[in-house]
Amino acid sequence: MKNSKNPILIVVAFFSIYVIWGSTYLLNKIAVTELPPFMLAGMRFLMASVLIFIIAKIIGLKLSITKVQLKNTTIAGFLFLTFGNGVVVWALKYVDSSFAALQVSAQPLIVLLMMRFLEGKKIQAMSIIGVFLGIIGIFLLVSQKGMITKEGMTMGMVMIFVCMLSWGYGSLFVTKADLPSNFFVNTGYQMLTGGSMLLIGSLAFGESWSNPIDWSLKVQLSMAGLIIFGSIVAFTSFNYLLKTVSPEKVATSNYVNPIIAMLLGWYFLNEPITVQSVIAAFILLSGVYFINTKKKMVMYARFKRQKTV
For the segment 251-307, what is each residue's pLDDT rounded down to a tens digit?
677 778 888 998 999 999 999 888 988 998 899 888 888 877 754 444 444 444 444
Closest to 69 measured CA to CA, from 216, 185, 208:
185
What is the percent of the chain where pLDDT is above 90?
48
Q: What is the pLDDT of residues 84-122, one digit of tens each?
A: 999 999 999 999 998 898 888 888 888 888 888 888 888
The mean per-residue pLDDT over the stretch 124-129 comes to 84
∠ Cα 238 60 2 (to 5°): 40
Give me the residue spans of the domains in the chain: 7-307
Q: With the C-alpha atoms ordered 206, 211, 216, 219, is the resulting torsion angle positive or negative?
A: positive
Closest to 92 measured CA to CA, from 282, 296, 271, 303:
271
pLDDT of residue 47 exceeding 90: yes
Cβ–Cβ < 8 Å for 157, 94: no
Q: With the C-alpha atoms ordered 129, 134, 139, 141, is the resulting torsion angle positive or negative?
A: positive
* Residue 69, H or E segment: helix 67-77
**Radius of gyration in angstroms for the set of CA atoms belonging to the chain, rounded to a whole number:** 18
Cβ–Cβ < 8 Å for 38, 199: yes
Give the predicted TM-score (pTM) of the model. 0.84
What CA–CA distance (Å, rounded) separates 17 from 10?
A: 11
Q: Residue 34 has what DSSP assignment?
A: T
Closest to 85 measured CA to CA, from 159, 154, 1:
159
Q: Which residue has the higher pLDDT, 168 or 37?
A: 37
What CA–CA distance (Å, rounded) separates 205 from 227?
A: 23
